[in-house]
Structure 1
């Protein structure tokens, strides 16, 4: 297998583990990603769609399904009525925090067969990839430490 094949299969391993974790909370991976993305602060729907690599229509449908579970809610922006903000409800925030904690605890299990140095290298490389990708939320929207 070449490098591209390895990255493909790594994504499958990650997605499978992520789906298992989400299922434990009775959420689809998409729903879990959504509530984790808005658990700390409201996000603009357009920015969220871009960060998640979704069309606005696909995000809207996901929000509709997740809102029916009373985990997220839409509101208008106080500065611009054309902007739609997405927030976690109190239930969604609590669930998002629990899901996020479980993901950060269990997802590293995929690297459990690596030695300590390789795990550290993987963490460094993963951090660099995420920090330099268009998937990371814009700095202006990240929660304060």
Structure 2
């Protein structure tokens, strides 16, 4: 595509997702994490989650989530703890080291993603944020439905 050709919305969104994924992967490399480990740590930043909740949040099948949690546990970044609401269940929580690394990963990811729009003026950035916000709001239910479909097909 040459510089004078207009990019359609589909192409722009797909290519934007590639840029965001690349920023995420670069931040992970900087922090010594796989993108999946970074996503897990960030998901656990607000609070510990049970495995079912965490699987739904990350869009992972139970076996994939178990492997991810096990690998991340071996690195000392997360721990399993009893669920205070259900004695038979466990929750996954960040360790102190995991919480610090989650903050580093989040900051590195945000910095890289912020750089993607550095060439835009303040008004353009505001417009972009508004339009993407509307797009996300209008499609809020689709993300979880798509993740459920992916889990059921695997």
TM-score tier after normalising by the smaller chain length: 0.7 to 0.9
Equivalence for 2:35: 29
Deviating more after overlay: 16-25 vs 121-130: 121-130
How many angstroms does 1:99 deviate by? 1.4
So what's the TM-score if we normalise by structure 1?
A: 0.82
1:133 equivalent to 2:140? Answer yes
Q: Distance in 2 between matches of 1:5 and 1:24?
A: 29
Q: How many residues align?
A: 136
Q: Distance in 1 between matches of 2:19 and 2:112?
A: 13
Q: Paired residue for 1:141?
A: none
Whether 2:76 is the aligned partner of 1:42: answer no
Structure 2 SS opposite 1:24:
helix
Distance of 1:130 and 1:15 partners within structure 2 = 21
Answer yes or no: is 1:118 the counterpart of 2:124. Answer: yes
> What is the match of residue 26 of structure 2?
20
After superposing on structure 2, the runs of 4+ consecutive aligned residues of structure 1 that deviate more than 6 Å are none
2:73 to 63, 67, 70: 67
Of the candidates 67, 83, 87, which is equivalent to residue 81 of structure 1? 87
C-alpha distance in 1 between matches for 2:106 and 2:26: 13
Distance in 1 (CA, whole Å) between partners of 2:54 and 2:133 is 20
Q: Please give the TM-score of this superposition, normalised by the length of structure 2.
A: 0.77
Structure 1 residue runs without a partner (length 5+): 137-145
Q: Residue 113 of structure 1: SS of its match in structure 2?
A: coil
Q: Which has the larger radius of gyration?
A: 2
Checking the alignment, whether the CA contact within 8 Å between 1:40 and 1:93 is kept in structure 2 is no
Is residue 2:101 matched to residue 1:98? no
Q: Deviations over 1:52-92 (max 9, x none)?
A: 11112211111111111000011221211343211000100
What is the distance in 1 between the residues matched to 2:49 and 2:104? 19
SS of alignment partner, residue 83 of structure 1: strand
- Superposition CA RMSD, Å: 2.2
